Structure 1
Amino acid sequence: MIHVLLVEDSPTDAELIQEVLEYTHQAKWHVSHVERLSEAIELCTLKLSQSQHKFDIVILDLRLPDSTGLDTVKGFRFKVPNIPIIVLTGTNDEQLGLQAMVEGAQDYLVKNEISTKQLLRAVRYAIERGLILNQIQQSELNTREALVKEQELNQVKSQFISMISHEFRTPMSTIRASVDLIQLYSDEITSEQNSRYLKRIENAIEQMLKLLDEILFIQRNEVGRVKFRPQPINLDVFCQEIIDVMQLSVSQEHHIVFTASGDYSQAEMDEELLSCIVTNLLSNAVKYSPKNSNIYFTLNGQNDTVVFQIQDQGIGIPESDQNHLFENFYRASNVRGIQGTGLGLAIVKRCVELHQGSIKITSAVGAGTTVVVTLPLYSES
C-alpha cells in the first residue's frame, strides 16, 4: 500500500490524478486529499505525533490558496523534512519545477500532460530518491554524532590524564622529600621530626589510595559492576563513627556538629555506598571551609525517608558551575589551589541513585553550601 497525500485546490486536477492512480493496478494506493498547504502540514504532523503510518509521497501543487511558487515547497519542507515531494506545475512552469527540485522536491509533473506511466515512474523514483536521501542524512547524522562522541571521549581522556598527573605529583613529591630528609639526615633529625615526616608519607599514600578508589568506582559504575546491597544499619551510630574518624584527621581546625532527631536504628541501606556519600560530603565541607569554622550535619526523618543535611560556611559555589557539579572531573571555577579530583560529587550522585534517593545542593559564593540527601529508610528489594 502506497500512501499518497495530494495537495491540490483544483477539484478537476485532483479528480484526474486520483483517477489515474485508481486505474493503475501495479500498486495499491491510499490517497488523502487536501486543498491548502496548512492542511497538508497539519495532517502530516498529526500522523507523526500519533505514530500513524506517514505518507510515502506528497503530490504538491505549487499554486495554492495559502501559498504560491517556491514558497510552497520551502514551507512544506521546513515543517515536514523527510517525506518525498512531487510538485505540480502549469504548462509554462517547467523552469519553476526545476527550481522546486533544487529546493528539495524529488520530481515535478506538468499538469494536463500527466500519463499513467509518467505518474508511476515519478512516484517510484521520488520514493526511491527520498529513501536514499534519508539514508544519506541519517549516515551524516550518525557520523556527526560519532565524531562528537569521539571528541568528548578525547576530552575526557585528556582531563583524566591531566588530573592524574596533577593529583599524583603532589603526594609523590611529598613522599620523595620526606624520604630524602629521613635518609640524608637520619643522624640529625629528632624522633619528633622523624614521626612528622612519616606522618606526611602516610597521608600522601592515603591521598593516592583515595584517588585510586575514586577512579576504580567510576570505572566499575560505567560497566555496571557497582551493586546495591542493603543491610540493617543504625544510622546514628554509623554517622557518629564516620564523624569521629574524620574529626581526628581535621584536628581542631574544623568542628563537625552532629544532631539527629528520630530513631534510625532499624534502617536498611548499603553501608559501603552510604559511607561514600557521607564521607565525600563531609570531606568537601571541610576542604572548602575556613579554619576554625563549624560543619553542621543533621539527620532528620520524613515518613519513610531520612534526610542527611550537611551545611558548611565555606567559599560557596558560583551559580554558573552548579549545573555541572555531578560531572566527572568537573571542579568549580573558584577552587583555586585547593586539591581535588572532581570525582567526589559524581560518586555521591551515583550512590544516591542506587539508593533510589535524591540530592540537592544550594550554594552562594562566600555564603557556604548546603547539601541535602534524601534516602528511603528501608530497601524495597
Structure 2
Amino acid sequence: MNTASISILLVEDSPSDAKLLQQTLWHLGGERWQVLQFERLSDAVDACSKSTFDVVLLDLSLPDSEGLNTIAEFHAAVPNIPIVVLTGFDDEDIALQAVAKKAQDYLVKGQITPNLLMRTIRYAMERGQIVKQLRESERRLRGIFEQTFQSMVLLTPEGIVLEINQTALNLCDSQQQDCVGKPLWELKNWSHSSGNQEWFKTVIAKAADGEFVRQELQVCGANDVIVWIDFSLKPLKDETGKVVLLIVEGRDMSDRKRAEAEVVKAWEQERELNEMKSSFVSMVSHEFRNPMTVIRTAVELLELYNQQLTEQQKSKYFGKIQTAIRHMLQLLDEVLFLGRSDVGKLQCEPTLLNLENFCSELTQSLQLSANSKHEIIFSFQGEQTSVEVDENLLRFILTNLLSNAIKYSPQGGTIRFDVICEDDTATFQIQDFGIGIPLKDQQRLFETFHRATNVGSIPGTGLGLSIVKKCVDLHQGQIQLESQVGVGTTFTIKLPLNNHGILPSLELVGSYWDSQKLA
C-alpha cells in the first residue's frame, strides 16, 4: 500500500486525543499522511463534499452527535469512506454494534500504538475497497435484474420469494410487499387456479432436488388478463452441489400465442373456404344440370314431334321450359346477391313504402304461383302503413320465407302471413304446418349451403335462408325460428322502421330483384 497519498479525516473534539493521534501518525512518517481535523460531525460531512478522503477516524462522542448514531449519520451522508471508530471503552459489544452500523474497525483510545494504527487504517481501506466493489457489483446486477425484459423471481429452495423484479411486478400488477416472503404459489396473479398452485409446488420440489423445469404457462396479468409466459425454474448450487437458490424466469409470449392462433384461424378459414368452394361448385353443377336437362328434353320433343303434338301438349312443354329458366335465374340472382353481400358492396337503402299494399300484392303473386293445395292467409295490423325499409331486401326476405313455407308443406294446407306495424318496429310472422325442421339443424339453418336433414328430394340450394339472414342484418333487425318436426315452422322477423342511422348502399340494388320470381 502506498501510504504517501493517504488522506485522513479526523473527527475528534478532544484536543489532547487529536494531538496524540497526529503524533502517532508522524512517527509512522509524517510525509505519508494528510490529516484534516474537525470537532463537529456536521463540519466533517461538509468537508467531504469539497475534498476526498481515504479513511475517517470517527469519535463517538461529539458536540453535535453522540454514540452509535454518529456512525449511522456519517455513513448515510458519506457512504463511500471507510470508517474507523474511536472509542474510550474497550467493550466488545460496542465494537460489534459499530461494525453493524457500517464501521470497518475500531480503536480504543489509550491503547493505540503506531503499528496498530497503521494496520487498522490499512485493513479499513482494504475492506472499504472490497465493500465498494461489492456494492458496485450489486448495483450492476440489480440493474440487470430490474431492467431485463424477462420476469425474474429469486426463491428459496422451499419456494419462498426473496426478490422479484419490476417486470414481474408489472406483469401481475403487484407491489414488492405483496410478494416478498410469500410462497410463489400463493401469489394470486401467478396462481389463478388451484391446478396452477399444485403444479408450482410440484416443480419447486423438483427444482430443489436439482432438476431444471421449463414449460409454457398461463398466469393472470394486469387487469385480470390471462397472459402466456415461457416459464423456467433453474436451481443454483453451491460448491458442494447443494441447491441454495431457485431462479424463476418468465418471458411474455402472448403475442406469439396470438400469432399462432391467427395462423390456425386463417388455416381453418382457408379450409372452410375450400370446402365452401367445393360445395358451391357441386351445388351449382347439380342445380343447373336439372333445369338444363328439362329444357333440352322439352326442346327435343318439340323439334321431333312438333306436328303430332296438340296445342295443350306444346303449352305444357313450354311451361316446363319457362319454369326451368326461372329456377336458373333465381339461382343466379342468389349467387350474385351472396357475392355482393360478402364483399360488403350491398347495404340497406331505406325508401318510403306502403307496407300493407306491398305485402298484400306479394301474397297475391305467390298465391297465383303456388299449388292449389296451398292457401296463404294474409293479415295486417297497425295504423301506420307507410314506412321506410329497403323494398328489394324486404321482397327477398318475404318471398323466400313464403316460398319455403309452400315448398316444405308438400301435403298442402294453410300458410299464415301476419304483419304487425306498431311504434318503430314492423313484425313479420310466417307460419306453415309442413314437415318442420329437426332441432339439430336449427342452429345451423342460416349457414351457407346448409339444408335440414329431413328435406329428402325437395329441391333447394341452401342459399336462401343465409341470404335472408343477411338481409335482416342489413336492416339491423332480428329473426327468430320456432319449429317442430311434423308440426310446422314459424319464422318471426322484427325490423326497425324509419331508421335513418342505417348506412346507404354503396351500390344501388336498383332493379336487381325485378326479375325475382318464385321457383
Do they superpose with TM above 0.5? yes
TM-score normalized by structure 2?
0.57
Residues 1:264 and 1:141: Cα distance change in structure 2 (over 3 Å): same
Whole-angstrom CA distance in 2 between matches of 1:45 and 1:216: 54
* Correspondence list, 1:1-381, <5 A: 1-2=147-148, 4=151, 6=153, 8=155, 15=162, 32=176, 33-34=179-180, 35-40=182-187, 42-44=188-190, 68-69=205-206, 77-80=216-219, 82-89=228-235, 91=237, 111=244, 127=251, 135=256, 140-381=260-501
- SS for the counterpart of 2:229 is coil
How big is the shift at 1:64?
A: 5.8
Whole-angstrom CA distance in 1 between matches of 2:320 and 2:239: 87
- SS for the counterpart of 2:384 is coil
Confirm or deny: 8 A CA contact 2:428 2:493 kept in the other structure. yes
Report the residue type matching 1:39 in the other structure.
E
Confirm or deny: 8 A CA contact 1:172 1:204 kept in the other structure. yes
Over the aligned positions, Cα root-mean-square deviation in angstroms equals 3.7
Residues 1:12 and 1:295: Cα distance change in structure 2 (over 3 Å): closer
Confirm or deny: 8 A CA contact 1:6 1:31 kept in the other structure. no
Per the alignment, residue 28 of structure 2 pairs with none
Report the residue type matching 1:154 in the other structure.
N
Whole-angstrom CA distance in 2 between matches of 1:186 and 1:12: 97
Whole-angstrom CA distance in 1 between matches of 2:200 and 2:475: 62
Residues 1:82 and 1:318: Cα distance change in structure 2 (over 3 Å): same
How big is the shift at 1:150?
A: 2.0
TM-score normalized by structure 1?
0.76
How big is the shift at 1:173?
A: 0.9
Gaps in structure 2 of 5+ consecutive residues: 1-146, 167-173, 193-198, 220-226, 502-519
How big is the shift at 1:322?
A: 0.4
Residues 1:14 and 1:261: Cα distance change in structure 2 (over 3 Å): closer
| Cα displacement string for residues 211-235 of structure 1 (whole angstroms, at most 9, x for unaligned residues) | 0000001100011111211011111
Residues 1:65 and 1:334: Cα distance change in structure 2 (over 3 Å): closer
- SS for the counterpart of 1:370 is strand
Confirm or deny: 8 A CA contact 2:214 2:231 kept in the other structure. no
Whole-angstrom CA distance in 1 between matches of 2:379 and 2:422: 15
Higher helix share: 1
Confirm or deny: 8 A CA contact 2:184 2:200 kept in the other structure. no
Whole-angstrom CA distance in 1 between matches of 2:331 and 2:487: 28
> What is the percent sequence identity of the aligned residues?
39
Kindly name which structure, 1 or 2, has the bigger radius of gyration based on alpha carbons: 2
Report the residue type matching 2:183 in the other structure.
R
How big is the shift at 1:203?
A: 0.8
| Cα displacement string for residues 60-108 of structure 1 (whole angstroms, at most 9, x for unaligned residues) | xx9869963369998985443732434253638999xxxxxxxxxxxxx
Per the alignment, residue 124 of structure 2 pairs with none
Per the alignment, residue 119 of structure 2 pairs with none
Confirm or deny: 8 A CA contact 1:289 1:312 kept in the other structure. yes
Report the residue type matching 1:8 in the other structure.
L
Report the residue type matching 2:476 in the other structure.
Q
